[in-house]
Amino acid sequence: PGVETTTGPLGQGFANAVGMALAGRLTRARFGQTHGAAESSGLGDHFVYGIMGDGDMMEGVAGEAASLAGHLGLGNLIFVYDSNQITIDGSTDLSFSEDTAAIFRARGWHVSDSVDGQDVQGLRRALEDARSETTRPSLIVLETVIGRGSPNVAGQSKAHGAKLGAEEVALTKQAMGWLEEPTFWVPDEVQAYCAERVREKQADRVAADARLQAWRTADPESAASWDAIRNGKFPEDLGTRLAQGRRGIQDATRNHSKAVLTELAEIVPQLIGGSADLAGSAAPPMLAGRGIVGPGAEKGEDPFLGRNIHFGVREHAMGAVSNGIALDGTFIPYCGTFLIFSDYMRPSIRLAALMKLRAFFVFTHDSFFVGEDGPTHQPVEQVDSLDAMPGLTVFRPADGVETAMAYGWGLQHAQGPIALSLSRQGLPALDRPEGFELKDILRGAYRVRDTADSPDVILLASGSEVALCLETADSLAKGGVEAQVVSMPSLELFDAQSESEQLKLIPDDGTPVVAVEAGCGERFRRYVGRRGLIHGLKRFGESAPYKDLATRFGFTPEALSRSVQEHLERSRSSQS
């Protein structure tokens, strides 16, 4: 009992339910088998019920999720569609005239349509039919009247969101033969029915606990695995272990992410996920040898034993379904696509942050360095907008070590979702200074290039621009300008540090700070100040090889050196 999810915008709850049902099937495939017990554990045998309205039915995310649920054959998912044919603006005739039952049948659903909302026995029969359907999700189309019983409001849009008012409430009670006083009244027969249902459910719980204990006794190995997964505890040195394998390797951070996820698959059996038709671009990748969820499973394999989910080109549903998996509490979902398409997922990401869900959103191709795909596929404002979202921790790692530590931190310490912003292009492995410790990364920012004395300028960057800043610092040094370089993979983690810790890296002593980002970069404004320089992109990109774009947009060591020197000259002039 309780609130399973905050549904937010219409359609989100529907897609969450698809994720919950999928998690149930995944659980049953792993832990619901007999394995020598007198009966199964019962784990994952539950149904997921939902109620949706006309507004939910119109939303694109519901259509995406319904398509996926039908494809996966989620026979444990049952939705009752409250078809009252009214929205805020009026009758659904204004905007919605499709044959919903036919559409859901075409999507692979079992459908009971035209069930009278006042026919209790008809609804009971429809629910029983749905529960007997094991290979298809079920939709029950319940024909209802909004505001039923209200003489002046029934069947009208004003019943949708407005109060009836004291006078109309009195008229409604009269029309329904209901006591007008007391204001809140529960008939004796209703109280008796509810009390009996509580007793029945308590007995069901006792039986379920006994069944689970019998399973534990018969199959202690599976029971131990179940407990470990539900506890969600990980080795304290997880991040360090992951990072060791990434040291000194030059590669795109999307490929580092692929390697880390592959290693995590061995350590974290509850890690499960996939991409929106971009696994080949490691956005994120398929986990080799981990099986496919659904019809893509190997012949003879349980279709829910796999760990790779093909979400298809359904970014919005992918995010919301992943939230549903996280809400179930057994598995840790990851999902992803190109960063530019995170805009298709924003409501799902926002709700994950609001609910503090443990989920990973893995975004690749994170800047104009995408190249020839052009401005439609080159993110500019996306990292800034994600960083502005409360409760979402964004990591934009500069190399494999930072990528590994981001995953490690997300599993060990995160109290909410993680978004990773990863490069398409290859990046050098950072050569960190003496005294560096891996835990420095988890402070959100750390120095990757120091100066013997006080610096003339501090270069601040994340991701692919950290290496650019290091090259630029070497170039500036030849001209007598000493630059420190700070890598800031996570602004959220840095902001969580004490003021004294922050000032060690970005002092408030007048030292010029230049932030560099192959995107908007305004997220760094609070560190550089009003008069500081953000060397970013104030326009959309173009279609060209990424090295040509770097030259055009001023993201070469030579161009950045000139930009920094000009900024320093302006700073000196303003102070004189």
CA 169 to chain centre: 42
Is 462 in a helix, a strand, or coil? coil
Residue 497 has φ and ψ, to the nearest 5°, of: -75, 160
Active-site annotation holder among 315, 402, 465, 517? 315
- 180 catalytic? Reply is no
Residue 217 has φ and ψ, to the nearest 5°, of: -65, -40
Q: Is the peptide bond before 182 cis (omega within 30 degrees of 0)?
A: yes
Q: Phi-psi category of 471—alpha, beta or left, where left has phi over 0 and alpha has psi -120 to 50?
A: alpha
Gap between the Cα atoms of 140 and 266, Å rounded? 41
Residues contacting 285, CB < 8 A, separation 6+: 257, 258, 261, 262, 275, 279
Burial code (b: 16+ CB inside 10 Å, e: under 16) for 402-421 equals bbbbbbbbbbbebebbbbbb
Q: Which two tokens stand for residue 450?
A: 């120091």
Gap between the Cα atoms of 110 and 88, Å rounded? 29
**Helix, strand, coil in percent for the chain, rounding step 5:** 45, 15, 40
CB 354 within 8 A of CB 46: no
Which H or E run includes 336?
strand 332-338
Q: 397: burial class by Cβ within 10 Å (0-12, 13-18, 19+)?
A: buried
3-state SS, 143-166, equals: ECCCCCCCCCCCCCCHHHHCCCCH
- Active-site amino acid positions: 315
